[in-house]
Structure 1
């Protein structure tokens, strides 16, 4: 984990939160831009998610507004990301809950990068091909994203940020340990069927990252797994889950969900919601030990290997 995990969101979604804090402080966009030595156009692009926000610049903004970076990143209790993802307010208010997925509103370069990576893979893509798909000049793409790697990092952060609010929201929506875990699996399955491109790139292109981004994003992925592990452990303590192999079972359940983009089609016979509910039931059955075969004794396994040789 990073030394300051609250800063992991600094380059994704924080621009929207900066706007909220600036407005609450009664500081105009032009005045804040003057204080941090950037143009009003640059600050506007930051607040609208069109230009990445660096940690150093976030620190400067926080200092000028008289708040901490944590105050900015937690400016809205009901939302941890910007309008590209939506928020967790009640559906009755016309906003997203963990079960609803509004279309992503991405900047042209990021949207083009996703489609290009899906078509050619990360290593087969070039900034020129991404610019062509975006209908932009190469210089225009470089203005917002200094490198192809920055585009990949933004995509993976986008996926992780969405999962990091959906999974806890699903868990907290449950009335008991079984419902909480079922909701978490449902949310994980829904994400992988509603956001298959983000999920596929996240699964296939982690190898293309370098540190420190690789370590940071891997830690965020492991955080999701730990949330599932902790809920399973709570279910075992409550006597609801009886599998003798909780660690292996939870990993199998995660893999079951993350493999969905490889075969699921939204225009197929099964809806996203139905497959998510079915997967949640499969998960509960596994954790209750239904149909769990006995684990082979190591000496018997070795004997079979020796005989086969």
Structure 2
């Protein structure tokens, strides 16, 4: 295979976009063996087939013909985390494809959505979506990674903001940040709660580990708060899971045009969580 042949350019562009030979062949409508023959130069490309390949790879056909695969696209930034202010929730700066995926996944569910529908919602061609994302699964993973990263940095920033209120104050701010996220990033929160099951096993295990890390941050701070307060021994783990569940339910009922603001609700949730930690065990049954 010549270094600057059309076949070499096709292979380079395919690899740069994270596509397998089988995936590219499927989208072009040929067998993997035929696609391999195109890439190695054993089978000449027709003009029509070259155009098909170029459309899927989102590379001008003339560049492939000249043996130039064109540079791989830079992945668009997922979102602006909002600096270091954990209370600030600006508009998400997702690229058009991820914005569309978030809307469609929440409205119709991951499995019901098609790449053609996502492309139409984004105002892009299907090839344009594949230019940045290798699959629908890739888009879901990116959204869930964003969700967990956003929750985590806000929790840590809230905890470390100041020593005001001691260990219990740190815990209260962490709960406040968790509640704010679920109230103001409701679509991402809903997706994280409803579509974890749709991930491939390896990605599901990785995202679950990120979720567990967030829970452990809350567990550890709650344990420190209980110890510092000298409260009665209790099952901190059960209490913090009750708090987390309370926060994750917010997208099911909170509305930004409701009687309470997200900030008011988050503050109340923090107060409820503190009261829960201070509650001793129930007296034994007679």
**Both proteins in one fold, TM over 0.5:** yes
1:182 to 172, 178, 182: 172
2:114 to 126, 129, 132: 126
Counterpart-to-counterpart distance in 1, 2:97 and 2:80: 14
Counterpart-to-counterpart distance in 1, 2:69 and 2:223: 50
Q: CA 1:265–1:232 in 2, change beyond 3 Å: closer, same or farther? A: same
Counterpart position of 2:266: 276
Counterpart-to-counterpart distance in 1, 2:249 and 2:154: 18
- For the 8 Å contact 2:172–2:273, the answer to whether it is kept is yes
**Which runs of 5 or more structure 2 residues have no equivalent in the other structure?**
1-67
**CA offsets, 1:144-179, max 9 Å, x none?**
111110010011001011112100000001411011
Q: How much does 1:259 deviate?
A: 0.7
- For the 8 Å contact 1:117–1:201, the answer to whether it is kept is yes
Q: How much does 1:200 deviate?
A: 0.2
1:86 to 71, 82, 86: 82
- For the 8 Å contact 1:118–1:197, the answer to whether it is kept is yes
Mapped pair 1:194 → 2:170: no
Query: Please, what is the CA RMSD of the aligned residues?
Result: 2.0
Q: How many residues align?
A: 217
Counterpart-to-counterpart distance in 1, 2:191 and 2:201: 18
Counterpart-to-counterpart distance in 2, 1:184 and 1:169: 8
2:156 to 139, 155, 168: 168
Q: What pairs up with 1:1-309 in 2 under 5 angstroms?
A: 42=72, 45-46=74-75, 48-49=76-77, 84-88=80-84, 97-175=85-163, 176-242=166-232, 244-289=234-279, 293-294=282-283
Counterpart-to-counterpart distance in 2, 1:170 and 1:273: 14
Q: CA 1:145–1:295 in 2, change beyond 3 Å: closer, same or farther? A: farther
- For the 8 Å contact 2:79–2:94, the answer to whether it is kept is no
Counterpart position of 1:5: none
Counterpart-to-counterpart distance in 2, 1:236 and 1:285: 11
Q: CA 1:295–1:204 in 2, change beyond 3 Å: closer, same or farther? A: farther
Counterpart-to-counterpart distance in 2, 1:104 and 1:269: 24
Q: How much does 1:195 deviate?
A: 0.3
Counterpart-to-counterpart distance in 2, 1:227 and 1:38: 46
Counterpart-to-counterpart distance in 1, 2:191 and 2:284: 35
Q: How much does 1:240 deviate?
A: 4.6
Q: How much does 1:246 deviate?
A: 1.2
Counterpart-to-counterpart distance in 1, 2:233 and 2:182: 26
Counterpart-to-counterpart distance in 2, 1:133 and 1:295: 58
Counterpart-to-counterpart distance in 2, 1:189 and 1:100: 13
- Secondary structure of residue in 2 paired with 1:212: helix
- Secondary structure of residue in 2 paired with 1:85: coil
